[in-house]
Chains A and B, each alone.
Chain A
Amino acid sequence: MIESWPILSILIFLPIFGAFLILLIPNKINQEGEILKNSTTNIKLVSLWTSIMTFLMTLLLSLKFNYTEKQYQFIEFYEWVPSLGIVYRVGLDGLSLPFIVLTAFLVPICILCSWNTIQHKIKEFMISFLILEAFIIGMFSALDIVVFYIFFEAVLIPMFLIIGIWGGVERIYASFKFFLYTLLGSVLMLIAIIYIIGTTGTSDLIQVLDYDFSKTEQLLLFLGFFFSFAVKVPMWPFHTWLPDAHVQAPTAGSIILAGILLKMGGYGFLRFSLPLFPDASLFYQPYIFFLSCVAIVYTSFVAFAQQDIKKLIAYSSVAHMGFVTIGIFCFNTQGLDGAVFQMVSHGIISGALFLAIGVIYERTHTRDINKLGDFATTMPKYSVFLMFFTLGSVGLPGTSGFIGEVLVLIGSWKVNPLVAIISGFSLILGAIYMLRFYRKISFGISENQDKYEIHDVNIREFMILIPLVIFIILFGIFPNIVLNFLKVPHFLILETFK
């Protein structure tokens, strides 16, 4: 029975439905005009349960998913704009499913971590978060280029709001910078999409995939998509929006930004750039390798110079995403597997690191690395968690961070050993800045320690941090859980290169 249900659409619209329910919850106001606490608790609970239900549904989907099927699964389509041939068409393959599960996994964590930190406009915050989740899932499951574009751009709206309303002091500058970069990409991508619809006469991704673009068309269209994706990844030198956005965003915003939004770029490359424009991808390969190598080495140095711990992690994200772009443009199984695995693992690890930073920011109200210290004494449990996340970020074997890196290194060695050697240096450079980070925070003596009331992680924080640790280790020891999904889609992508 369940097979005939529009299960994917239910998944996409479930968070929106939850957001609608939240809208109906009235804000009870007492005589002084303050919002009563129990009404906000209801709001939080509804959004938490909505997101948990969504997560369970994604798990259901991945259980019912067939690894060996070459077609898209759970396909649904409804006529939308018949005159332009635009069809609401969604479906899943092994490439999109891990990202959807990751999204649905991170959103409840985000909601839980904003439980007490978001004090004002809690209703609006939860609504924007759920809508954000719906858009992201929609984007990962879109099979129509126009539908993809709409979701891809729509994701930015709640994100702007989250940074711009609940962000830090310089949130306006950060969202402006974020906007300026993404605008550049969006405009070019729109032009490319219009051209594709014009020449092929359809916006159905499956049909467009069969169309052979000429070499010149490919070269230009590739660039049209490239800027949009490169800004999202972000690739060097389009990365400077990321540190600012992270620093200003609230913790939950940072988690989603690092965990999911950055993956939209890599996903876009795999879904569109590679299969649609194989010749152009081959042509641009050396340039992308160059930018990625610069990203890995250069941003590692920049991360080392940071005083703000959020900026430090933001720059380390750029370095880690350098591995993703290298892996994608290796055009071999290990490279692609490594790239996607690195994205999933980075989603968990960087999300965890931002969460961890949020935990201490709540207590100390500072992110200055020189003002923090000695959490190993004051928060022993916390520092154990942070150790796990740090080691994951450093790419220690046994954590998920290692698998992605080593697969990408293997994949890139086959194509260009020099790239593998240069990116291999991140093994050392990553350790340099992450160990400095950990040492400054957990060890040593804090300058103004007695100013703060420091208590160790509470039960709510413990419950969010534990699943992250479990997944980091689980994926490090049994990476095949993720890699099995990727076999068929990567095989199909590589087919276009033969």
Chain B
Amino acid sequence: MYNLIIFLPLIGAILSWILGNRFSSIPTYIVSISCLFLSMIISWIAFYDIAILKNDFEGASLPWINSGEFKALWEFNFDTLSCVMFLVVNTVSAMVHLYSVGYMSHDKSKSRFMAYLSFFTFAMLMLVSSNNLLQLFFGWEGVGVASYLLIGFWYNKKSATSAAVKAFLVNRVGDLGFILGLIFVYAYFDTIMFERIFELAPSMMDVSIVVFNNKLNVIELSCFLLFIGAMGKSAQLFLHTWLPDAMEGPTPVSALIHAATMVTAGVFMVCKLSPLFEYAPNVLTFITLIGALTALFASTIALTQFDIKRVIAYSTCSQLGYMFFAVGLSAYPAAMFHLTTHAFFKALLFLGAGSVIHGLSNEQDMRKMGGCFKKLPVTYILIWIGSLALAGIPFFAGYYSKDMILEVAFASDSQIGYFAFICGCLAAVLTAFYSWRLIYLTFHGDFKGNKSTYDKIHESPLAMLLPLFVLAFGAVFSGWFFKEMFIGVNWDYFWSNSIFILTGNEAIYKAHNVPKWVKLLPIVLAIIGISIATVFYVLIPDLPSRVSKAFRVLHTLFYNKWYFDEIYNYLFVKPIKIFSVFCWNIIDKKIIDGIGPNGISSKVFSLSKISSKIHTGYVYHYSFSMFIGLALLTLILLYNLQVN
């Protein structure tokens, strides 16, 4: 029965696509939403049954590729880790489906939108339920395509389609790393099944290969390649550039794909493969480094942006950084915990922002908002809840998970751990600051847009608010609810064999015994951030412009996103264009064709011109050449006679 969790969304996608072509949007809504809700309910049951009661369930299995000794199966795995992901993905997805009914009500291709959303959910579930690397890759690419289709959903908008292409291409760079990692694993483990890989991992620890006179550890190398894939999907530093642009898509998409689920696939993958990554200490250090840098880096950009969705997008990027450095410090349960709570409060924030955008007739620029709290009271409260959770204020979901991650970083007692701790603390201040900056700019002060727009501002319909309440409930209580299971004293019983931590990497055990000040620090940092934001945007409103003038260099750097897009454009996009034109015009047309067919035909022409000169038509010319020919023949004949 649990197999239905995965296939119900697919059925929903196909049916709503077919129905959408024939009928109005109502049957589409009914079909896709009921499929998703059913799937959500079953995944809650599965969570209770498998993750809590520890009953086993064998998923379906079918052959996929059989080529010699290479075998891949379609196979579904139901362990604690997948059940947690089912729960997160399906809950958020069901809420987003419901929300979309209201949000997309003015759009003309509603059924296409629902079909894409359901298809995305299917691909994501394939990803989290896979039992081998290749099926994981199937889901991995599937969510990539769904994200591409949904970012470019409004295909007449040039910025949307270019953002879609960019997202797909940057992800493909990561995917190349992933597929090479997969092949590398297969080459040395002779299998792509997770179970076998994990069994063999300890014995492969010391196997290394020599590349250009450097000895490289096999596990380190394969984990590194796989992590590149995770960097692409989870928008980590250097491969993050697609995520902010992805905000061109409809807001429900940003909530589901670019906040709660798809972008966390990288974190999930590393947790899933923890029995392999645990034997790659250098890669773990690298993951910590990238995660910590991303957490800080993305939050610096979020400080200066004015697009309400981009602020939240960079915030997502930064929170993913937190999850990654937790993973890098072997605190997989903490990372999964943050993934879960983050899914709820970030989806809430995005959908709340969507509610604002919807209410303001598609305005996204915070400079044209302000004072909306009277018109959007419910949304206002919901965004407060989301921000409180994000900033890590006690008893909201984010408090438990973020606190845990920072404690782990401190407790790991290594240089990289302290580095991550410092980055995480700084990012926590910035997070609180930009969250309240968002609230103040959007809801407080005077309205800075058109008067006529202000009059039209309206609170969202119930179909949009209802899912927000559910998510808000999650943002408040999910931390408290899951804490004991995910990271409590018996966490290793809860996660059982779906997560593996090598002896010696026990930062997570020590995290409960950190000094009191470390436990209190996140709250203090959050309050500092909120107070600064209050000073900047409520008490002394002209302070932001003065500060940005005083730190002009930093501000321009942050405002222009550290110039990553420009640098990549200069390094990759332009050279590829120039090189491809060069290949075509010079090498293909001039050199190959010039020497090949065209060259030969022109040579034939010129040679025949030369040879035609011999045909003069004078009898004495011909008789002379005949004479020479005869003479030559005689000579050859004489020579042959002599030899014999």
| Interface flag for B547 (CB, 8 Å) | no
Q: Which residues of B contact A47 (CB under 8 A)?
A: none
| Interface flag for B152 (CB, 8 Å) | yes
| Interface flag for B631 (CB, 8 Å) | no
* Bound-state Cα–Cα, A461 to B297, Å: 52
Contact flags (1/0) for B56-70 with A, using CB distance below 8 Å?
Answer: 000000011111111
List B residues 125-172 near A (Cβ within 8 Å).
134, 137-138, 140-142, 145, 149, 152, 155-156, 158, 161-162, 164-165, 168-169, 172
Extra contacts besides A180-B597, A237-B596, A428-B173 (17): CB < 8 Å: A176-B601, A180-B600, A181-B596, A238-B596, A301-B579, A305-B583, A333-B68, A333-B69, A396-B145, A398-B138, A417-B187, A424-B176, A428-B176, A443-B161, A444-B155, A480-B64, A483-B66
Q: Is A403's CB under 8 angstroms from B173's CB? A: no
- Within the complex, the shortest CB–CB distance from A379 to chain B, in Å, comes to 13
| Interface flag for B584 (CB, 8 Å) | yes
Q: Which 4 residue pairs of A and B lie closest in terms of their CB atoms, listed nearest first?
A: A333-B68, A301-B580, A397-B138, A305-B580
- Within the complex, the shortest CB–CB distance from A284 to chain B, in Å, comes to 21
Interface centre among A177, A397, A432 (most CB of B within 10 A): A397
- Within the complex, the shortest CB–CB distance from A476 to chain B, in Å, comes to 9
- Within the complex, the shortest CB–CB distance from A389 to chain B, in Å, comes to 13
| Interface flag for A492 (CB, 8 Å) | no
Q: Is B597's CB under 8 angstroms from A237's CB? A: no
| Interface flag for B443 (CB, 8 Å) | no
Q: Which residue of B lies closest to A238 (CB)?
A: B596
Knowing A431-B168, A443-B161 are in contact, say whether A480-B63 is a contact too (CB < 8 A).
yes
Q: Is A444's CB under 8 angstroms from B65's CB? A: no
Residue in B68, B175, B579 whose CB lies within 8 Å of A332? B68
Knowing A305-B581, A431-B169, A477-B64 are in contact, say whether A240-B596 is a contact too (CB < 8 A).
yes
Contact flags (1/0) for A305-335 with B, using CB distance below 8 Å?
Answer: 1100000000000000000000000001110
Q: Is A480's CB under 8 angstroms from B179's CB? A: no
Knowing A298-B583, A443-B156 are in contact, say whether A420-B576 is a contact too (CB < 8 A).
no
> Which of A32-40, A248-256, A354-362, A405-413 sits within the interface?
A405-413
Q: Is A425's CB under 8 angstroms from B583's CB? A: no
| Interface flag for B184 (CB, 8 Å) | yes
- Within the complex, the shortest CB–CB distance from B171 to chain A, in Å, comes to 9
Q: Is A391's CB under 8 angstroms from B145's CB? A: yes
| Interface flag for A9 (CB, 8 Å) | no
Q: Is B142's CB under 8 angstroms from A397's CB? A: yes
| Interface flag for A363 (CB, 8 Å) | no
Q: Is B580's CB under 8 angstroms from A240's CB? A: no
Q: Which residues of A contact B579 (CB under 8 A)?
A: 301
Main secondary structure of the interface of A (DSSP, over half): helix
Q: Is A444's CB under 8 angstroms from B158's CB? A: yes
- Within the complex, the shortest CB–CB distance from B190 to chain A, in Å, comes to 11
Q: Is A397's CB under 8 angstroms from B137's CB? A: yes
| Interface flag for A304 (CB, 8 Å) | yes
| Interface flag for A421 (CB, 8 Å) | yes
- Within the complex, the shortest CB–CB distance from B142 to chain A, in Å, comes to 7
Q: Which residues of A contact B165 (CB under 8 A)?
A: 435-436, 439
* Bound-state Cα–Cα, A435 to B593, Å: 28
Q: Which residues of A contact B66 (CB under 8 A)?
A: 480, 483-484
**B residues apposed to A, CB below 8 Å:** 21, 63-70, 74, 134, 137-138, 140-142, 145, 149, 152, 155-156, 158, 161-162, 164-165, 168-169, 172-173, 175-176, 179-180, 183-184, 186-187, 576-577, 579-581, 583-585, 587-588, 592-593, 596-597, 600-601
Q: Is B175's CB under 8 angstroms from A427's CB? A: yes
Q: Is A428's CB under 8 angstroms from B588's CB? A: no
Q: Which residues of B contact A444 (CB under 8 A)?
A: 155-156, 158, 161
Q: Is A301's CB under 8 angstroms from B583's CB? A: yes
* Bound-state Cα–Cα, A483 to B70, Å: 12
| Interface flag for A445 (CB, 8 Å) | yes
List A residues 208-266 near B (Cβ within 8 Å).
237-238, 240-241
Q: Which residues of A contact B145 (CB under 8 A)?
A: 391, 396
* 29 A-B pairs whose Cβ atoms sit less than 8 Å apart in the complex: A180-B597, A180-B601, A240-B588, A240-B596, A241-B597, A301-B583, A304-B576, A305-B580, A306-B584, A332-B68, A334-B67, A338-B67, A376-B155, A381-B21, A397-B138, A407-B67, A428-B173, A431-B168, A431-B169, A439-B165, A443-B152, A443-B156, A444-B155, A444-B156, A444-B158, A480-B64, A480-B65, A483-B66, A484-B66
Q: Which residue of B lies closest to A420 (CB)?
A: B183
List A residues 428-446 near B (Cβ within 8 Å).
428, 431-432, 435-436, 439, 442-445
Q: Which residue of B lies closest to A341 (CB)?
A: B67
Interface residue count on the A side (C-beta < 8 Å): 58
Q: Is A410's CB under 8 angstroms from B180's CB? A: no
Q: Which residues of A contact B21 (CB under 8 A)?
A: 381
- Within the complex, the shortest CB–CB distance from B474 to chain A, in Å, comes to 32
Q: Is B161's CB under 8 angstroms from A439's CB? A: yes
| Interface flag for A144 (CB, 8 Å) | no
- Within the complex, the shortest CB–CB distance from A397 to chain B, in Å, comes to 4
| Interface flag for A337 (CB, 8 Å) | yes
* Bound-state Cα–Cα, A302 to B588, Å: 8
Q: Which residue of A lies closest to B177 (CB)?
A: A424
Q: Which residues of A contact B581 (CB under 8 A)?
A: 305
Q: Is A177's CB under 8 angstroms from B68's CB? A: no
Q: Is A407's CB under 8 angstroms from B583's CB? A: no
* Bound-state Cα–Cα, A477 to B65, Å: 9
Q: Which residues of A contact B184 (CB under 8 A)?
A: 413
* Bound-state Cα–Cα, A334 to B68, Å: 7
Q: Which residues of A contact B164 (CB under 8 A)?
A: 439
* Bound-state Cα–Cα, A301 to B587, Å: 11
- Within the complex, the shortest CB–CB distance from B318 to chain A, in Å, comes to 27
Q: Which residues of A contact B187 (CB under 8 A)?
A: 410, 413-414, 417
* Bound-state Cα–Cα, A391 to B180, Å: 20
Q: Is A181's CB under 8 angstroms from B597's CB? A: yes
Residue in A397, A414, A425 whose CB lies within 8 Å of B176? A425
| Interface flag for A76 (CB, 8 Å) | no
Q: Which residue of B lies closest to A387 (CB)?
A: B149
Knowing A240-B596, A427-B176, A436-B165 are in contact, say whether A305-B584 is a contact too (CB < 8 A).
yes
- Within the complex, the shortest CB–CB distance from A322 to chain B, in Å, comes to 15
Contact flags (1/0) for A156-195 with B, using CB distance below 8 Å?
Answer: 0000000000000000000011001100000000000000
Q: Is B583's CB under 8 angstroms from A240's CB? A: no
Q: Which residues of A contact B134 (CB under 8 A)?
A: 397, 406
- Within the complex, the shortest CB–CB distance from A437 to chain B, in Å, comes to 11
Q: Is A432's CB under 8 angstroms from B576's CB? A: yes
| Interface flag for A286 (CB, 8 Å) | no
Q: Which residue of A lies closest to B211 (CB)?
A: A417
- Within the complex, the shortest CB–CB distance from B180 to chain A, in Å, comes to 6
Q: Which residues of A contact B168 (CB under 8 A)?
A: 431, 435
* Bound-state Cα–Cα, A238 to B165, Å: 32
* Bound-state Cα–Cα, A151 to B31, Å: 55
- Within the complex, the shortest CB–CB distance from B242 to chain A, in Å, comes to 13
- Within the complex, the shortest CB–CB distance from A341 to chain B, in Å, comes to 8
Q: Which residues of A contact B577 (CB under 8 A)?
A: 304-305
Q: Which residues of A contact B137 (CB under 8 A)?
A: 397
Q: Which residue of A lies closest to B598 (CB)?
A: A177
Residue in B63, B68, B183 whose CB lies within 8 Å of A409? B183
| Interface flag for A377 (CB, 8 Å) | yes
Contact flags (1/0) for A456-498 with B, using CB distance below 8 Å?
Answer: 0000000000000000000001111001100000000000000
* Bound-state Cα–Cα, A413 to B180, Å: 9
* Bound-state Cα–Cα, A118 to B152, Å: 37
* Bound-state Cα–Cα, A302 to B580, Å: 5
Interface centre among B68, B138, B149 (most CB of A within 10 A): B68
Q: Which residue of B lies closest to A414 (CB)?
A: B187
Q: Which residues of B contact A305 (CB under 8 A)?
A: 577, 580-581, 583-585
Q: Which residue of A lies closest to B141 (CB)?
A: A397
Q: Which residues of B contact A124 (CB under 8 A)?
A: none
Q: Which residues of B contact A424 (CB under 8 A)?
A: 176, 179-180
* Bound-state Cα–Cα, A397 to B140, Å: 9
Residue in A301, A374, A442 whose CB lies within 8 Å of B576? A301
Knowing A377-B156, A428-B173, A443-B155 are in contact, say whether A410-B583 is a contact too (CB < 8 A).
no
